[in-house]
Amino acid sequence: MSKRSKSSSNLLEVKNIKHYFPITKGVILRKNIGTVKAVDGVSFEIKPKETFGLVGESGCGKSTLAKIILQSIKPDEGNIIFNGTDVTNLKGNSILPFRSQVSIVFQDPYSSLNPRMTVKRIVAEPLITHKLAEGGQKDKMVIDVMERVGLPRQMLDRYPHEFSGGQRQRIAIARALVLKPKLVVADEPVAALDVSVQAQILNLMKELQENLDLAYLIISHDLNVVKYMSDRIAVMYLGRIVELGSSSDVFYKSSHPYTKALLSSAPIPDPSLKVNRVILKGDVPSPSKVPSGCAFHTRCYMSKEICSSKDVSLTKVKDKQWSSCHFPEEV
């Protein structure tokens, strides 16, 4: 990645993260027979109040990367720098300030809330954990954040199973915001919701971003959702970022064939539109057997000889757009 003169202005810096999972054979004497390259050298930054979208299909490593960013897993290589502090090697109490500033919203509203706790207790948990408020003040903060997400205080004494998917997702968002974090990681925030409710939640998230100065990392396989929410987008394939740029550049001036294929694969609710579809051949290769050269060449519609032999990393295509293709101009 290019050098940044004002690196201290970044809220989050992901620096060359690598995470491999060994594949072992045998029960007693374990032999290493391969590696799953879940994340293979990923770098990007998120600025304050920005929405950064991470797009990719299954096996691309976005979930693992999210866990690393949240410091739920420690990466094999690389650093995560939050607000100027390197949190990669922090543990125990020293990482608590980071945890109060970064929160998560999960995909499945049915499993992200403890079924045996009341809504009030669920939303208050961050306050209790960080010992930031007690008694009346704690209650007030909980009521406050619940109102922000559009849920009346009468709901506080109820249990998660009494609510619909959309309402549960609001509760999850309330929990993520009660400590007024700087960054919220949203992992497929609306994938499990009905169409008519998806927009409700996304609009809510946008509104909250305005009012609370939040930055979002939105992870999704749904390009339209990512484009609707994000300022900048990174496209991942087999553990690497293959394209990075502003939303409109990535969508309208894609510089990587995979991005183009993704965009054209999405079904469009307009039967009169004749789409020039790029249907990729074959399956996504296993992350344990990453193809030589450019990892995408086995399915690429414009691959040339050099693509199977020479590897390529993310290089600048033009101002604020990067691609890892040998021939970005031809896309």
Applying CB under 8 A, which residues contact another protein? 57-58, 70, 72, 95-96, 99-100, 102-104, 106-108, 111-116, 118, 125-126, 129-130, 157-159, 162, 164-166, 172, 175, 194-200, 202-203, 221-225, 227-228, 251, 261-272, 277, 279-280, 283-284
Q: Which is nearer to another protein, 125 or 139 (CB)?
A: 125
Q: To the nearest whole angstrom, how small is the minimum distance from the Cβ of residue 80 to another protein?
A: 13
Other C-beta atoms within 10 Å of 242: how many?
Answer: 25
Q: Which is nearer to another protein, 3 or 281 (CB)?
A: 281
Q: Which three-class secondary structure state does DSSP give residue 25?
A: strand
Question: What count of Cα atoms within 13 Å lies in the side-chain half-sphere of residue 298?
Answer: 12
Q: To the nearest whole angstrom, how small is the minimum distance from the Cβ of residue 68 to another protein?
A: 12
Task: Determine phi and psi for 306, rounding to 5 degrees.
Answer: -65, -25
Give me the count of residues in the chain. Answer: 331
**DSSP string of 121-163?**
HHHHHHHHHTT---HHHHHHHHHHHHHHTT--GGGGGS-GGGS
Q: Which is nearer to another protein, 1 or 231 (CB)?
A: 231
Q: Which is nearer to another protein, 1 or 139 (CB)?
A: 139
Q: Which three-class secondary structure state does DSSP give residue 259?
A: helix
Q: To the nearest whole angstrom, how small is the minimum distance from the Cβ of residue 6 to another protein?
A: 29
For residue 255, CA distances in Å to 240, 259, 317 come to 15, 8, 8
Q: Which is nearer to another protein, 135 or 269 (CB)?
A: 269
Q: To the nearest whole angstrom, how small is the minimum distance from the Cβ of residue 282 to another protein?
A: 9
Q: To the nearest whole angstrom, how small is the minimum distance from the Cβ of residue 232 to another protein?
A: 16
CB 49 within 8 A of CB 206: no
